[in-house]
């Protein structure tokens, strides 16, 4: 059963396992930290993302696909061939590592880990007191708000509240979404997040005409403030319109200044595209300090290992993060940028009858950047001790994890996560 | 000290005898300033309207800010009529006078503004009083007005017809004594037709106004009584299996036909509410072709949803549950229950069936509020154990697809079969109820009846319907009034039609006006219908709007039909923040408004996949001058719009009405007013 003490012990042990010089390498967090959060949408299977080599027997046994002779588990030999095994001490080479293994498709992230740029958070999730934590809606909402059992009572996200607390001025809002939507995590009481989508060079109004007609149309668009229409929706539409028109010139300026022509190829990857746009904004000097990107497809109820599903997704994630970090580092911009991943929940250990896994609890998270003290935090759940639903026991309450990130941005996490949840100390 | 108060007008009520129907009488009431908390309706007596059917107001007075002088001019509309609102000029207090109907219990029913234009406004059912308030920009305005309110049993059409021309955007009734049975304001009719359909042309709005919008709604609730045979010649035919375009990425593929068909139905069907309900359920039970990957399954799915869209909810859920598209979408296809211990069934469908399709995660009171424990935490409706039980109960179904069916109707290609050997043996325990099992497909109906008997079902579904059709934040009272209708008709084959009838008849229905943002599909279809447009059928590869096809425009606005991003569909019902973000608004301006380039000014554009029909603008608008043209476009798209938008359009059109009409449509489509549903 989860207790805070057990979690603290785990965290302390992990921290102590680090060589002293490694901890000294990390830069200091400061008031200009930029946080890039990546939602692994749908509930990422932690077990096939960070493989428990030190519990391989039970892991593999649980991952046998019922009624077949096949397994959903990652093969030890594939981890060895890919060289993605690792120890809490990031300096241990893959060839001598026996504890854990990144998925074999995550060679890029494994390499970053070896350079001391990655913290791996194990056993993180929503606590048992969180009712319906295996529901996408509830879990995503709770991860976004940093609270439990509050669906319907609040809609403010922990990043939005962070900027409510520390304030932010500037031509663009502090919080920026890259996927067209306005995610709860960014919503604050004070400033509406900026929502972008696609290539930031396209953040503009196409008037559908040319010359004087175009000018006249846009003039009418910007003159009309609909003040005399007494309507909630018109008020809202007007405020979005005023914000949007005021951001267009700034975004265009940034997009023109940094075209990203020297950014690694994104192919058809939506995640790589989102991270590329973020890199352009950061390099152009945008005042924004929190970015939201997402990667869908993790709700792998069936055929989890087929093309386009979990193995390809974590490979894409690994490459996308590596490209992003590499681009920032090459341009001298990585010192204050922290990348973090999170997901609705982990998945059940036992495979189901359709070669997939159902909704679970604990998962893994990655925190990447120069500010990060590398290594392993939390603990891998004991796969011999599952709860009555067949789920592993949470080792790290998500609110401890969020406390580190809120703190890194310069705010007090206590009022935001609704209590004192000691930081894990990876920053 | 400034309080967070919305200034308000209290009434010194002058008692008067109750008004008999068809017996006009006049109240003379002097209103004085008074403040009440923001958002409340006030404690003043107002004017008794319980015996009247229509109200006509004339008002004169001033609006002021505390500590500043009142605005200089005094007119029927207060300051709003003489100066445009400005936040930077506190000494010229601004705002407009709004009238509101209030129920006997003090609930705000509906409000309108500006008053004082001598138009008749219908008294909603259940309205007891009419009160006034000031809609200001700072929240501190107050005012003193002298108001003459005629509360009458019928409107004097002859007197009103003179007013109508001068006050275009707040029309009175047609110049006739044949009055609508209720809802006489034009924007009320437009609102109802937009929420229970996809809007309509000004001419058709007038026709419905004349015959009564209540009659229109009643007819829409019984779609089988509406002759829709013309639709069959309009909607693009489904190609026989194996003869449709097979490319997946080109514009001319099978998906595109499906996408065009649904838009074509929304544009041209006379059964507007049925199409709107179908849209609602297709978003409620969102499935994506991205995973299903079978156009034949999608056609079946759409037709099943439409068949039940105004029928019985349990029937709808049961039918959808065993559709091939749903089996494929949520992994219940071939789900094996023969050995549930060694071989646990897939839980994907079981979980969403309870969470999204029927009752939600938290226990609900009949007014839609959450049931909470002593600590204030919401209580859950079901546990993971219930999910597993439902998953087991629904094992054994398999989608059957003919591997090589030949050139047949694709609807015959997909089917479903039940395999008893792969079905887990019951009975099952679901949320404390025992569900018996006879090892056959009847288990689906039993499981759904059991889940739907949970008290959370009715408030969960009713609230979502209200959020889709009326307002993002329905009042607890509204939910509580509809829930008994839902429950009383739980086994009625026309349950959903009866629920929608109750929603439309509720006194709060018209209070939803101006509270919602259009979905992208409504953005496109409402524009096409309002401007008497049509999609060209059959579609040929050369056809696009001058820029893009309608479905490409929908994709650019992030609502590609048949491709919802997840089981949560595109948006939470009615949620403004998810419907309109910076980037989504820009795509509406740049892509959605490009539909204006399909404006047909003279002859049909043969290469356009849609034509907005303004060929007879002169005749329709009653004049080819800028004022008439602007008025027509505004009436067609934004219920008449605001004086400011009308002025902008008239200026824009002043040079050359016909050459600039597409631009006028563009300006309206990009206005905040048009975003309002």
Task: Please give the helix or strand (H or E) that residue A165 lies within, else none.
Answer: helix A158-166
* Closest by Cα among B189, B205, B200 to B268: B200
Q: Which residues of A touch B650 (CB under 8 A)?
A: none
- The answer to whether the Cβ–Cβ distance between A217 and B652 falls below 8 Å is yes
pLDDT 10s digits, A223-247:
887 676 667 888 889 889 999 999 9
- The answer to whether the Cβ–Cβ distance between A224 and B644 falls below 8 Å is yes
Shortest CB distance from B585 goes to which of A217, A241, A296? Answer: A241
Q: Say which range, B138-152, B162-176, B539-553, B613-627, has the weakest mean pLDDT.
A: B162-176
pLDDT at A59 over 80: yes
pLDDT at B325 over 60: yes
pLDDT at B171 over 70: no
Work out the pLDDT band at B243, boundaries 50, 70, 90.
confident
Q: What pLDDT is attached to residue B135?
A: 56
pLDDT at A65 over 50: yes
Work out the pLDDT band at B252, boundaries 50, 70, 90.
very low
B 591-630: CB under 8 A from A: 591, 593-594, 596-597
DSSP string across A3-48:
-HHHHHHHHHHHHHTS-HHHHHHSPPP-TT-EEEEEEETT---GGG
pLDDT 10s digits, A33-56:
999 999 999 999 999 999 999 999
Contact predicate A326/A264, CB 8 Å: yes
Q: What pLDDT is attached to residue A414?
A: 95
pLDDT at B542 over 80: no
* Closest by Cα among A77, A78, A51 to A63: A51
pLDDT at B566 over 60: yes
Q: What pLDDT is attached to residue B175?
A: 23
Q: Which residues pair with A55 in a beta bridge?
A: none
User: What's the CA gap between B538 and A356, in Å, rounded?
Assistant: 43
**Which 3 state secondary structure label does DSSP give B347?**
coil
User: What's the CA gap between B196 and B280, in Å, rounded?
Assistant: 11
Q: What pLDDT is attached to residue B582?
A: 96
Q: Say which range, B24-33, B323-332, B452-461, B634-643, has the weakest mean pLDDT.
A: B24-33
SS3 string of A258-283? Answer: CCCCCCCCCCCCHHHHHHHHHHHHHH
Contact predicate A36/A275, CB 8 Å: yes
Q: What pLDDT is attached to residue B143?
A: 55
B 257-296: CB under 8 A from A: none
Q: Say which range, A74-88, A201-215, B402-416, has the weakest mean pLDDT.
A: B402-416
Q: What pLDDT is attached to residue A230?
A: 63
Q: Is A307 on the interface with B (CB under 8 A)?
A: no
A 138-157: CB under 8 A from B: 138, 149, 151-152
Q: What is the mean pLDDT of chain A?
A: 90
Query: What share of chain B has pLDDT > 70, as a percent?
Result: 71
The answer, yes or no, to whether the previous bond of B126 is cis (omega within 30 of 0) is: no
Shortest CB distance from A226 goes to which of B344, B565, B672? Answer: B672
Q: What pLDDT is attached to residue B294?
A: 86
Q: What pLDDT is attached to residue A44?
A: 98
- The answer to whether the Cβ–Cβ distance between B331 and A227 falls below 8 Å is no
User: What's the CA gap between A149 and A144, in Å, rounded?
Assistant: 12
Shortest CB distance from B361 goes to which of A137, A208, A296? Answer: A137
Q: Is B419 on the interface with A (CB under 8 A)?
A: no
User: What's the CA gap between B570 and B552, in Å, rounded?
Assistant: 16
Shortest CB distance from B666 goes to which of A198, A208, A296? Answer: A208
Contact predicate A269/A316, CB 8 Å: yes
* Closest by Cα among A206, A227, A52 to B88: A227
User: What's the CA gap between A401 and A421, in Å, rounded?
Assistant: 8
- Chain A and chain B share a number of CB contacts under 8 A equal to 226
The token pair at B57 is 């107001």
Q: What pLDDT is attached to residue A9?
A: 33
Work out the pLDDT band at B31, boundaries 50, 70, 90.
very low
B231 CB burial (10 A radius; 0-12, 13-18, 19+):
middle
Work out the pLDDT band at B123, boundaries 50, 70, 90.
confident
Q: What pLDDT is attached to residue B151?
A: 64
Q: Which residues of A touch B98 (CB under 8 A)?
A: 230
- The answer to whether the Cβ–Cβ distance between B583 and A131 falls below 8 Å is no
- The answer to whether the Cβ–Cβ distance between B361 and A132 falls below 8 Å is yes
A 159-178: CB under 8 A from B: 177
Q: Is A358 on the interface with B (CB under 8 A)?
A: yes
Q: What pLDDT is attached to residue B575?
A: 83
User: What's the CA gap between A193 and A290, in Å, rounded?
Assistant: 10
pLDDT at B64 over 60: no
pLDDT 10s digits, A102-129:
999 999 999 999 999 999 999 999 999 8
**Alpha carbon separation from B187 to A39, A270, B173, B199, B205 (Å, rounded):** 43, 43, 11, 11, 9
- The shortest C-alpha distance from A358 to chain B (Å) reads 6
Domain ranges, ordered by start, for chain A = 4-200+246-417
Q: How many CB atoms lie within 10 A of CB A285?
A: 11
pLDDT at B224 over 90: yes
Shortest CB distance from A352 goes to which of B344, B355, B515? Answer: B344
User: What's the CA gap between A242 and A225, in Å, rounded?
Assistant: 8
Q: What pLDDT is attached to residue B401?
A: 84
Q: When comparing pLDDT for B60 and A31, which is higher?
A: A31
DSSP string across A51-98:
E-GGGHHHHHHHTBPTTSS-B-SPPHHHHHHHT-EE-SSTTS-GGG--
A 366-395: CB under 8 A from B: 389
Q: What pLDDT is attached to residue B409?
A: 84
The token pair at B397 is 């179904």
B 204-263: CB under 8 A from A: none
Shortest CB distance from A196 goes to which of B345, B387, B582? Answer: B582
Q: Say which range, A60-74, B191-205, B525-539, has the weakest mean pLDDT.
A: B525-539
Q: Which residues contact A101 (CB under 8 A, 6 or more apart)?
A: A50, A51, A53, A74, A76, A79, A84, A85, A86
Q: What pLDDT is attached to residue B83?
A: 33
Q: When comparing pLDDT for B432 and A14, which is higher?
A: B432
pLDDT at B32 over 60: no
Contact predicate B627/B608, CB 8 Å: no
pLDDT 10s digits, B348-367:
999 999 999 999 999 999 99
Q: Is B82 on the interface with A (CB under 8 A)?
A: no
**Alpha carbon separation from A132 to A2, A364, B81, B352, B369 (Å, rounded):** 17, 19, 54, 13, 17
pLDDT at A61 over 70: yes
Work out the pLDDT band at B212, boundaries 50, 70, 90.
confident
User: What's the CA gap between A369 and A329, in Å, rounded?
Assistant: 9
Q: Say which range, A86-95, A238-247, B100-109, B501-510, has the weakest mean pLDDT.
A: B100-109
Q: Is B587 on the interface with A (CB under 8 A)?
A: yes
pLDDT at B163 over 70: no
Q: Is the dihedral of CA B610, B615, B617, B622 positive or negative?
A: negative
Q: What pLDDT is attached to residue B546?
A: 63
Q: Which residues of A touch B578 (CB under 8 A)?
A: 181-182
Work out the pLDDT band at B545, boundaries 50, 70, 90.
low
pLDDT at A379 over 70: yes
Q: What pLDDT is attached to residue B9?
A: 27
Q: Is B138 on the interface with A (CB under 8 A)?
A: no
* Residue located via tokens 């009431």: B29
* Closest by Cα among A243, A251, A281 to A263: A281
Where does B124-199 have alpha helices with state H? 157-166, 186-195
* Residue located via tokens 């809490």: A88
**Which 3 state secondary structure label does DSSP give B27?**
strand
Work out the pLDDT band at B659, boundaries 50, 70, 90.
confident
User: What's the CA gap between A368 and A324, in Å, rounded?
Assistant: 11
pLDDT 10s digits, B491-506:
999 999 999 999 999 8
- The shortest C-alpha distance from A87 to chain B (Å) reads 34
* Residue located via tokens 């958002």: B39
Task: Please give the helix or strand (H or E) that residue B32 lies within, else none.
Answer: strand B26-37
Contact predicate B642/B673, CB 8 Å: yes
Work out the pLDDT band at B154, boundaries 50, 70, 90.
low
CATH numeric code, A4-200+246-417: 3.40.720
User: What's the CA gap between B116 and A84, in Å, rounded?
Assistant: 76
**Which 3 state secondary structure label does DSSP give A160?**
helix
pLDDT at A147 over 70: yes
Q: Which residues of A touch B663 (CB under 8 A)?
A: 209, 213, 216-217
pLDDT at B655 over 80: yes
pLDDT at A412 over 50: yes
Q: Which residues of A touch B344 (CB under 8 A)?
A: 66, 350, 352-353, 358
pLDDT at B158 over 50: no
The token pair at B342 is 């060694």
pLDDT at B60 over 80: no
Q: Is A91 on the interface with B (CB under 8 A)?
A: no
Q: Give the mean model confidence (pLDDT) for residues B395-404.
A: 89
Rg (CA), chain B: 27
Q: Say which range, A317-326, B223-232, B593-602, has the weakest mean pLDDT.
A: B593-602
User: What's the CA gap between B534 and B626, in Å, rounded?
Assistant: 25
* Residue located via tokens 């006879």: B438
User: Which of B369, B586, B661 to mutate: most A Cβ within 10 Å?
Assistant: B586
Q: Is B318 on the interface with A (CB under 8 A)?
A: no
DSSP string across B474-540:
--HHHHHHHHHHHHHTTT-TTHHHHHHHHHHHSTTGGGGTT--B--HHHHHHHHHHHTT-EE-SS--
Q: What pLDDT is attached to residue B80?
A: 36
Q: What pLDDT is attached to residue B142?
A: 54
DSSP string across B210-247:
HH-HHHHHHHHT-GGGS--THHHHHSPPPPPTTTS---
DSSP string across B257-269:
HHHHHHHHHHHH-
A 284-303: CB under 8 A from B: 296, 299, 301-302
Q: What pLDDT is attached to residue B146?
A: 52
Q: Give the mean model confidence (pLDDT) for residues A295-305.
A: 94
Q: How many CB atoms lie within 10 A of CB B616?
A: 9
- The two beta strands, B54-64 and B120-122, are antiparallel
Q: Is A198 on the interface with B (CB under 8 A)?
A: yes
Q: Which residues of A touch B523 (CB under 8 A)?
A: none
Q: Which residues of B touch A386 (CB under 8 A)?
A: none
- The answer to whether the Cβ–Cβ distance between A213 and B663 falls below 8 Å is yes
**Which 3 state secondary structure label does DSSP give B103?**
strand
- The shortest C-alpha distance from B238 to chain A (Å) reads 31
Work out the pLDDT band at B62, boundaries 50, 70, 90.
low
Q: Give the mean model confidence (pLDDT) for residues B452-477.
A: 94
Cα within 13 Å of Cα(B222), Cβ side: 6
Q: Taking CA atoms, what residue in A is nearest to B86?
A: A227
Q: What pLDDT is attached to residue B59?
A: 58
């Amino acid at each position: 059963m989860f207790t805070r003490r057990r979690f603290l012990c785990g965290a302390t042990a992990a921290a102590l396992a680090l060589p002293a010089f490694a901890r000294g390498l990390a830069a200091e967090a400061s008031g200009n930290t930029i946080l890039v959060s990546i939602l692994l949408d749908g509930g990422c299977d932690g077990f096939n993302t960070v493989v428990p080599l030190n519990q391989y027997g039970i892991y593999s046994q649980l991952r046998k696909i019922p009624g077949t002779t096949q397994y959903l588990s990652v093969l030890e030999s594939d981890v060895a061939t890919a060289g993605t095994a690792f120890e809490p001490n990031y300096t241990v080479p893959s060839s001598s590592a026996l504890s854990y293994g990144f998925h074999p498709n995550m060679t890029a992230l494994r390499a970053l880990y070896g350079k001391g740029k990655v913290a791996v958070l194990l056993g993180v999730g929503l606590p048992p007191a969180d009712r319906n934590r295996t529901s996408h809606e509830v879990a995503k909402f709770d991860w976004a708000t940093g609270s439990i059992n509050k669906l319907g009572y609040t809609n403010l996200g922990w990043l939005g509240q962070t900027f409510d607390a520390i304030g932010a001025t500037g031509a663009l809002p502090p919080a920026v979404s890259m996927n067209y939507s306005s995610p709860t995590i960014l919503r604050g009481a004070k400033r509406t997040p900026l929502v972008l989508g696609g290539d930031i060079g396209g953040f503009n109004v196409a008037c559908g005409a040319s010359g004087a007609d175009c000018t006249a149309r846009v003039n009418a668009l910007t003159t009309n403030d609909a003040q005399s229409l007494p309507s909630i929706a018109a008020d809202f539409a007007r405020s979005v319109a005023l914000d949007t028109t005021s951001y267009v010139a700034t975004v265009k300026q940034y997009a023109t200044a940094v075209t990203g022509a020297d950014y690694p190829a994104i192919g058809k990857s939506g995640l790589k595209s989102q991270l590329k746009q973020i890199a352009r904004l950061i390099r152009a000097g945008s005042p924004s300090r929190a970015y939201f990107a997402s990667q869908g497809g993790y709700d792998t109820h069936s055929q989890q290992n087929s093309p386009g599903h979990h193995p390809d997704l974590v490979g894409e994630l690994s490459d996308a993060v590596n490209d992003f970090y590499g681009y920032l580092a090459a341009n001298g911009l990585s010192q204050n940028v922290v990348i973090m991943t999170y997901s609705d929940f982990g998945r059940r250990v036992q495979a189901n009858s359709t070669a997939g896994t159902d909704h679970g609890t604990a998962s893994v998270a990655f925190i990447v950047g120069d500010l990060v003290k590398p290594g392993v935090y939390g603990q891998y759940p004991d796969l011999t001790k599952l709860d009555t639903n067949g789920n592993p026991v949470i080792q790290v309450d998500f609110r401890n994890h969020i406390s580190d990130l809120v703190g890194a941005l310069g705010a007090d996490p206590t009022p935001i996560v609704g209590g004192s949840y000691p930081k894990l100390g990876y920053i | 000290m400034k309080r967070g108060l919305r200034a308000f007008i209290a009434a010194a009520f002058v008692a008067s005898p109750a008004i008999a129907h068809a017996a006009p009488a006049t109240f003379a009431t002097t209103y004085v300033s008074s403040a009440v908390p923001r958002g409340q309706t006030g404690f003043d007596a107002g004017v008794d309207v319980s015996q009247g059917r229509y109200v006509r107001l004339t008002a004169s007075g001033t609006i002021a800010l505390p500590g500043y002088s009142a605005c200089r001019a005094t007119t029927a509309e207060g300051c709003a009529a003489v100066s445009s609102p400005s936040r930077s000029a506190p000494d010229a207090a601004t705002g407009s006078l709004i009238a509101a109907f209030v129920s006997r219990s003090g609930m705000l029913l509906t409000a309108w503004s500006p008053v004082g234009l001598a138009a008749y406004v219908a008294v909603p059912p259940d309205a007891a009083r009419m009160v006034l308030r000031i809609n200001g920009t700072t929240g501190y305005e107050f005012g003193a007005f002298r108001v003459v309110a005629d509360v009458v049993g019928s409107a004097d059409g002859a007197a009103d017809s003179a007013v109508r021309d001068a006050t275009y955007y707040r029309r009175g009734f047609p110049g006739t004594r044949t009055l609508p049975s209720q809802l006489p304001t034009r924007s009320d009719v437009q609102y109802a037709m937009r929420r229970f359909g996809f809007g309509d042309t000004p001419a058709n709005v007038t026709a419905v106004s004349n015959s009564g919008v209540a009659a229109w709604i009643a007819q829409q609730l019984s779609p089988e009584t509406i002759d829709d045979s013309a639709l069959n010649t309009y909607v693009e035919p489904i190609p026989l299996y194996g003869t449709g375009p097979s490319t997946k990425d080109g514009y001319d593929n099978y998906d595109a036909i499906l996408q065009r068909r649904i838009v074509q139905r929304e544009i041209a069907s006379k059964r507007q509410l049925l199409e709107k309900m179908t849209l609602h359920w297709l978003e409620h039970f969102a499935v994506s072709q991205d995973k299903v990957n079978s156009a034949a399954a999608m056609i079946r799915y759409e037709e099943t949803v439409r068949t039940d869209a105004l029928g019985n909810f349990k029937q709808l859920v049961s039918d959808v549950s065993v559709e091939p598209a749903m089996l494929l979408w949520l992994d219940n296809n071939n789900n094996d229950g023969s050995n549930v211990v060694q071989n646990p069934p897939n839980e994907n469908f079981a979980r969403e069936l309870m969470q999204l399709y029927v009752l939600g995660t938290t226990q609900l009171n009949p007014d839609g509020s959450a049931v909470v424990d002593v600590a204030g935490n919401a209580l859950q409706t079901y546990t993971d154990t219930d999910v597993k039980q439902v998953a087991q109960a629904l094992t054994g179904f398999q989608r059957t697809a003919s591997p090589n069916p030949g050139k047949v109707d694709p609807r015959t290609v997909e089917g479903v079969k039940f395999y008893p050997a792969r079905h887990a043996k019951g009975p099952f325990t679901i949320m404390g109820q025992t569900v018996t099992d006879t090892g056959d497909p009847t288990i689906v109906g039993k499981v759904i009846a059991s889940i739907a008997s949970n008290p959370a079902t009715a408030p969960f579904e009713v609230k979502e319907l209200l959020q889709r059709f009326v307002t993002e934040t329905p009042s607890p009272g509204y939910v509580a009034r509809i829930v008994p209708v839902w429950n009383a008709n739980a086994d009625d084959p026309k349950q959903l039609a009866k629920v929608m009838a109750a929603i439309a008849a509720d006194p709060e229905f018209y209070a939803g006006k101006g509270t919602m943002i259009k979905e992208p599909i409504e953005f496109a279809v409402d524009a096409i219908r309002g401007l008497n447009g049509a999609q060209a059928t059959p579609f040929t590869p050369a056809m696009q709007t001058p820029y893009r096809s309608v479905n490409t425009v929908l994709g650019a606005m992030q609502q590609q039909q048949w491709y919802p991003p997840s089981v949560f569909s595109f948006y939470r019902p009615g949620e403004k923040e998810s419907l309109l973000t910076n980037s989504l608004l820009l795509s509406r301006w740049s892509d959605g408004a490009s539909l204006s380039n399909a404006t047909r000014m003279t002859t049909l554009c043969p290469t356009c996949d849609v034509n907005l029909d303004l060929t007879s603008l002169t005749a329709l608008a009653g004049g080819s001058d800028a004022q008439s043209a602007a008025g027509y476009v505004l009436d067609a798209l934004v219920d008449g719009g605001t004086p400011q938008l009308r002025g902008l359009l008239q200026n824009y059109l002043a040079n050359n009405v016909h050459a600039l009409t597409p631009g006028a449509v563009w300006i309206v489509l990009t206005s905040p007013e048009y975003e309002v549903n």
